[in-house]
Chains A and B, each alone.
Chain A
Amino acid sequence: METLAPWVLIALLLAGWEIACRALHVAPYLLPPPSQVAAALIANLATLLSAAWRTLAVAIVALIIASLIAQALAMLVALSSILDRAIRPLASVIQVTPVVAIAPLFLIWAGIDHPERALVALAVVVAFFPIFSGAVAGLKSADPDLERLFALYGASRWQTVTRLRLPSAVPFLLEGHKVGAGLAIIGAVVAEFGAGSGGVRGLAWQILDAGNKLQTDRMIAALAALGVMGVALHGLLARAELAGLRWWRGR
């Protein structure tokens, strides 16, 4: 019953939408009924799937790059207080800069032939911060008594990092990557909007293109595909985080 609740609500909302559209004779270009959206979804399934894959691919590549840069920088920050002072404000600047504001600049740098590079770079910018701040917090999260124990047994700086700080950071890294992956998708979509018609033909481009042609049903179908992709990815990552934690803790 509990697991059914959201599905029942969705079904009720869709039914209400369908009935309202028919009863009030809403123009389909303003708001098509869900049955028409479903038809558009089926008709364009192949296009939408390949568009979703392009957006997802950009997000995945961005996540990997963001992960590498964020962890390397976090390591430097955790090891040196001078670098901490130097890097942190810049990292915050990256966090508060809206991705749409820097998209045009990145698109110029990437050049007209490689808009996908700009999209990846923009998604990297968005996914970077949660991974970075998670890693920094994680590297400083070691039990102070365990740190004392390492000092007592004469552990070197390197031993303290590799055998205490890094393993202690694992739960924080898992959380950071979960949040970062969600943001990478959002970053990829926003960047696609910024790139406009010259961009990679991902889901956001589908939405833009359908909008330009007043194909509202296709627009909503693409939006639905985006929503499903987001929910699926989030579910997957939440599971991965849980599995990772279980492995780390041994249960």
Chain B
Amino acid sequence: MRAVEVDYARGPALGPFSLEIEAGEIVSLVGPSGCGKSTALRLLAGLEAPSRGQVLRTPGRGETAVVFQAPTLAPWLSARANVALPLELAGTARAAAGVRAREALARVGLAGAEAARPAQLSGGMAMRVSLARALVTEPRLMLLDEPFAALDEITRRALADDVLRLWAGLRPAIVFVTHNVEEAVYMASRVVVMTAGPGRLAGDFPVEGPAPRPAGFRTTPGFRRSVEAVSHALARGMAEGARP
């Protein structure tokens, strides 16, 4: 994504902003509300076109998956049918799609919940179904738009570890949008900080450490240092954006 800018009717929303994502890396995107994080994600997904600038994408359509802030499941479909949907839309036969959906659900720890409807699932379980749906197509790029924002702390930590564990299997590139600095550092090998809207680059920090994260990673000096650095850049970015 090179020097992209997006204007909406109500004014400029993003940029100019550049971001490059390597195959298999996890990048966290943090910034204040309204800085255009979600817009940047939609550009990467190809769901929106930039007003100026270019989005250069190697993975083609069908190799990108998105997880939204809400689970965004179809209430009239069972968990398995929800997960099978991307495959069926791409033309996979119903039976084969069902089998792969069952496997994907098992991978996110939801074996046995295949027949449940979204209304019968807890927030954390529904989000796992949403993750399974993103994983089922074996994407090369996964875009996560504040996927844990509506969940309680225990559930979000468990899901963060789940995402990292799942990533270790398929190794897709992941762009993880959040406004939680600790979560951003925990999830990613690189944290990109954006200024207040229209968002520009406020900092780009590599995060040391193994992935998936070992137990107690949140208390290591390296983790604390990264969190401090990102928080500092975020504060500066907000001040910069606030200036006219």
Q: Which residues of A contact B (CB under 8 A)?
A: 143, 145-146, 148-155, 159, 163-164, 167-168, 170, 248-251
Contact = CB atoms under 8 A, between A and B. Distances in A.
Nearest to B66: A152
B72 A249 contact: no
Interface string B72-109: 10111110000001100110000000000000000000
Interface of B: 42, 45-47, 61-62, 64-66, 68, 70, 72, 74-78, 85-86, 89-90, 116-120, 137
A180 B45 CA distance: 42
A146 B85 CA distance: 11
B117 A249 contact: yes
B45 A152 contact: yes
Between A154, A248, A250, the greatest number of chain B beta carbons within 10 A of the residue's beta carbon is seen for: A250
A34 to B, nearest CB: 47
Contact of B46 (A152, A170, A248, A251): A152
A248 B78 CA distance: 10
Contact of A149 (B46, B66, B78, B118): B66
B47 A151 contact: yes
Minimum-distance CB pairs A-B, first 5 = A250-B117, A145-B72, A153-B89, A155-B89, A167-B76
Contacts of A154: 61-62, 89-90
A116 to B, nearest CB: 38
Given A148-B66, A249-B117, A251-B119, A153 B76 contact: no
Contact of A170 (B64, B65, B76): B76
A145 B120 CA distance: 21
Given A152-B66, A167-B74, 19 more contacts: A143-B72, A145-B70, A146-B74, A150-B89, A152-B46, A152-B64, A152-B65, A153-B85, A159-B89, A163-B89, A167-B77, A168-B74, A170-B76, A248-B75, A249-B119, A250-B116, A250-B118, A250-B119, A251-B120
Nearest to B86: A153
Instruction: Name the prevailing secondary structure of the A interface residues.
Output: helix
Contacts of A249: 75-76, 117, 119
A164 B72 CA distance: 12
Contact of A145 (B64, B68, B78, B86): B68
A167 B76 CA distance: 7
A110 to B, nearest CB: 41
25 contacts: A145-B68, A145-B72, A146-B74, A148-B47, A148-B66, A151-B47, A152-B45, A152-B47, A152-B61, A152-B65, A152-B66, A153-B85, A153-B89, A153-B90, A154-B61, A155-B89, A164-B74, A167-B77, A170-B76, A249-B75, A249-B76, A250-B75, A250-B118, A251-B117, A251-B119
Contact of A153 (B62, B68, B116): B62
